[in-house]
Structure 1
Amino acid sequence: MTSSVWLNADFSLRVVINSETKPWVPSPQPGVERRMLDRIGDEKARATSIVRYAPAASFPAHEHPGGEEILVLSGTFAEGSTLHSAGTYLRNPPGSAHQPGSPAGCIIFVKLWQMNPADRATVCVNTRDATRWHHLIDRAVCPLYEGFGERVQVLRLQPGALLLPEGNDAGAELLVLQGSLLEAGHTLPQGAWLRLPPGDGLGVEAGPEGAELYLKAGHLRELIDLPPAR
């Protein structure tokens, strides 16, 4: 990977971004724009982004040496002739290839080059499928992936429910999909993206309307000890 872009690249630091207030930045491919959240590298980067496809926009077929993780936020995302509706979670392992696009337009949450090189799991989960959910006292959980010390899930929190009731020993990352979170009187609205180092975020709770969010933990464990990017 090249290293021409460094954005929120010190993993020991908390980052809170309202992604919906960030400008859309054109990608090299016509009709595809992105909101960058963190990034190390140029076009072949370790990156976290919100990506928007205009109708009929697509990328040529290509490989992902470091793997790719996708959550379809709205519209319909395509991999070749396979269509994925809003709420679909995809995990394409290191060395996989696809031809992404969208027939009618879509917005997706994307994480690139953030998987263990030995990970070979291909995952496709429809989070709108009620049978995928486990219901607890103050939340419902849709498991998406667990392996190599990493756990990914979508949560639906009841109003006032703590985000991390069991603590945060290895760092966590989340994207608010619906509703809001509250912390020390501050509101984290739909579209807020948080990257929390170990021990952080323990006071975050769901807002008065509850919250639905993507939550990923464990993947920062090795990165937190890296020196800050220069």
Structure 2
Amino acid sequence: MKIAADFSQREIVHSQTLPWVPSPMAGVDRRALDRVGDEVARATTVVRYAPGSQFSPHVHAGGEEFIVLEGVFQDEHGDFPVGSYIRNPPTSSHTPGSKEGCVIMVKLWQFQPEDRTHVRLQMNAMGKVALPHTPGVEVTPLYKDAIEEVALYHFGPNASLHFIALDGAELFVLEGDITEQQDPLGRHSWARLPMHHAVAITAGVKGAKVWVKTGHLKDVDNQIERVSGA
């Protein structure tokens, strides 16, 4: 299966307009943002757990990264409410579910194979620092390695951010609304911007919080190759 699989193209998806598609596990539905592969896939997905639903225990051979958007996500490692940012590296395992129900944005098979770093952060409780030479924009760093950098950007009303995404970028709007170039992105909208794209973000009148990942698209061919060999 291929969804938005041409990584040289700019992609915009308003996830809340997509239908929910049942997964193989009862009570767990999905909205695909991008995907290369079938059940084992390099994928970016919004996933909804019905109250009391649970996946079977499994190992994440290619790693798993997710943000809790609504409700409380749970596994044997803890309870993770809205604003949680989690990285479960390759070879990690868990039994995910939710007693009250939840919605997450999750990315699979997008780690470096040697990565063994667990990350469990509550973004809503973290500090932020002003972005130099960018009035009205503050940033909360979340993760950085040799390939990628992940951060939460806080935009004040009408604030703007411009940069060149030399190795690609990905945006997911958590609160408020923005435009990227001339395209509006509201709550839970997603953008994948190709390498060398001139990123131009402007927040709406109420500001915005945007999850931003950069650098990772330079490794996308290797990610797909690892999925194919799984």
Fold shared by both chains (TM-score > 0.5) = yes
Which amino acid in structure 1 is aligned with residue 94 of structure 2? H
Structure 2 CA distance for aligned equivalents of residues 70 and 22 of structure 1? 19
Structure 2 CA distance for aligned equivalents of residues 88 and 187 of structure 1? 25
What is the match of residue 197 of structure 1? 194
Structure 1 CA distance for aligned equivalents of residues 223 and 26 of structure 2? 35
Residue 120 of structure 1: how far off its partner (Å)? 1.1
Q: TM-score normalized by structure 2?
A: 0.90
Q: 1:168 to 1:185 in 2, by over 3 A?
A: closer
Which amino acid in structure 1 is aligned with residue 175 of structure 2? Q
Residue 223 of structure 1: how far off its partner (Å)? 2.4
Among residues 214, 218, 222, which one is paired with 2:219 in the alignment? 222
Larger strand share, 1 or 2: 2
Structure 2 CA distance for aligned equivalents of residues 93 and 225 of structure 1? 16
Residue 114 of structure 1: how far off its partner (Å)? 0.3
Structure 1 CA distance for aligned equivalents of residues 93 and 56 of structure 2? 10
Please tell me whether the aligned partners of residues 116 and 148 of structure 1 are also in contact (alpha carbons under 8 angstroms): no
Structure 2 CA distance for aligned equivalents of residues 206 and 224 of structure 1? 32
Q: Which moved more, 1:41-50 or 1:180-189?
A: 180-189
What is the match of residue 164 of structure 2? 167
| Matched positions, count | 221
Among residues 97, 109, 114, which one is paired with 2:105 in the alignment? 109
Structure 2 CA distance for aligned equivalents of residues 225 and 42 of structure 1? 17
Identity %: 44
Residues 1:133 and 2:128 aligned together: yes
Please tell me whether the aligned partners of residues 37 and 47 of structure 1 are also in contact (alpha carbons under 8 angstroms): yes
Residue 30 of structure 1: how far off its partner (Å)? 0.4
Task: Write the deviation string for residues 123-169 of structure 1: whole angstroms up to 9, x where unpaired.
Answer: 00100114x32234422211111002200111111223223x34211
Larger helix share, 1 or 2: 2
Which amino acid in structure 2 is aligned with residue 179 of structure 1? G
SS in 1 for 2:112: coil
SS in 1 for 2:124: coil
Residues 1:142 and 2:137 aligned together: no
Which amino acid in structure 1 is aligned with residue 79 of structure 2? L
Give the ranges of 4+ consecutive aligned residues of structure 1 lying more than 3 Å apart after TM superposition: 183-186, 224-227
Residue 224 of structure 1: how far off its partner (Å)? 6.8
RMSD between aligned residues: 1.9
Which amino acid in structure 2 is aligned with residue 221 of structure 1? K
Q: TM-score normalized by structure 1?
A: 0.90
Name structure 2 gaps, 5 residues minimum: 225-230
Residue 184 of structure 1: how far off its partner (Å)? 5.0
Structure 1 CA distance for aligned equivalents of residues 123 and 29 of structure 2? 25
What is the match of residue 208 of structure 1? 205
Q: 1:25 to 1:178 in 2, by over 3 A?
A: same
What is the match of residue 47 of structure 1? 43
Residue 183 of structure 1: how far off its partner (Å)? 4.0
Which amino acid in structure 2 is aligned with residue 134 of structure 1? V
